[in-house]
Amino acid sequence: MIVTILKVLGVITFALLTLVGCQTIRNSGNIPLAAPSPETLRIATYNVHYIILERDTGAWSVGDWERRKTPLDLAFKAVGADVIGFQEMESFGRGSGGRINLTLDWLLENNPDYAAAAVGDPSAFPSTQPILYRPARLTLLDQGWFFFSDTPDVIYSRTFNGSFPAFTSWAQFRDDRSGEVFRVVNLHTDFGSRSNRIQSIELVADRIKPWMNENETLFVIGDFNGRIGDTVVDILADMGLDFAPVQGSTFHFNSGINLFGAIDHIATTGTAQLVNEPVVLRQKFDGEWPTDHYPVVADYLLGADR
């Protein structure tokens, strides 16, 4: 009897490992990232995971940050975006007041040709979803935020079901090469609550509708925690936003395991035209995973007829 049970467990284990292996292969693949054209605008989104300031060692600790900060900088440089929106760029610790942001400081220190939008005094502007951009090409015109909450204009208000705050940051730019004006809307929905995700995206839809009615060019990017075909994507797709056809996993459990399709997306409306396939950089940098998501990158032509 025991031998039979062990055999059955062995078969089940083998089947599960086979399924995981097949899913990982299915959702993997590496498309080379071409050098950007001066005629196009490179947009990217990247969830870089928070740092726990009170933890010296272990996952997502300050010690772990020391291990992954150089690989993260290498990943940032490899992306080479004109605009990149980040999620979870937070150094979390009691009493820090949001004024410590190791990741943001590190990337700006090591990439002086970039500036940060969607940042400010943490008492008035949540700065854990910054949007980095190239000031040599782009002029920042405006920026703002709203929380996924019944009181969206109250900073750090909790989500619809009372869980930890989540929000959207945004920034408006002028492309000094083309003169085109566009807005980047950078979101991160609650991974643990489907109802929160849906209500959050409904709020995003409500907030961007006036901009769409003014025929603005929008990039709605970020960690949707939803795949193509999910309600959180369809709500915006049904409004007329075009989602770049990202193939395969964008979240990998911090270990290169690609079990399911993309949850990080880039969507557009207005005059932005996708000029080639979006790319997911599924690779280690300096032999390490910088974070548990991959960067998603896409090139667009502004001012194009749709």
Distance of alpha carbon 306 from alpha carbon 303, whole angstroms:
9
Residue 227's pLDDT is 97
Residue 2's pLDDT is 59
pLDDT for residue 151 is more than 70: yes
Tokens of 143: 């920026």
For residues 123-140, give the mean pLDDT. Answer: 97
Residue 134's pLDDT is 98
Mean pLDDT of the residues in the chain: 92
Cβ atoms of 172 and 142 closer than 8 Å: yes
Residue 17's pLDDT is 39
For residues 88-112, give the mean pLDDT. Answer: 91
pLDDT for residue 10 is more than 60: no
Residue 31's pLDDT is 87
- Which CATH superfamily hosts domain 31-301? Endonuclease/exonuclease/phosphatase (3.60.10.10)
Residue 305's pLDDT is 62
Quick: pLDDT tens for 15-33. Answer: 333 445 556 888 998 888 9
Residue 218's pLDDT is 98
* Percentage of the chain lying above the pLDDT 90 cut: 86
pLDDT for residue 5 is more than 60: no
Residue 19's pLDDT is 43
Residue 202's pLDDT is 98
Q: How many CB atoms lie within 10 A of CB 198?
A: 17
**Any idea what the Cα angle at residue 261 is, between residues 74 and 272, rounded to 5°?**
70
- 3-state SS, the chain, equals CHHHHHHHHHHHHHHHHHHHHHHHHHCCCCCCCCCCCCCCEEEEEEECCCEECCCCCCCCEHHHHHHHHHHHHHHHHHHCCCEEEEECCCEECCCCCCCCCHHHHHHHHHCCCCEEECCCCCCCCCCCCCEEECCCCEEEEEEEEEECCCCCCCCCCCCCCCCCCCEEEEEEEEECCCCCEEEEEEEECCCCCHHHHHHHHHHHHHHHHHHHHCCCEEEEEEECCCCCCCHHHHHHHCCCCEECCCCCCCECCCCCCCCCCCCEEEEEECCCEECCCCEECCCCECCECCCCECCEEEEEECCCCC
Q: Where are the domains of the chain?
A: 31-301
For residues 49-68, give the mean pLDDT. Answer: 97
Quick: pLDDT tens for 182-241. Answer: 999 999 999 999 999 999 999 999 999 999 999 999 999 999 999 999 999 999 999 999
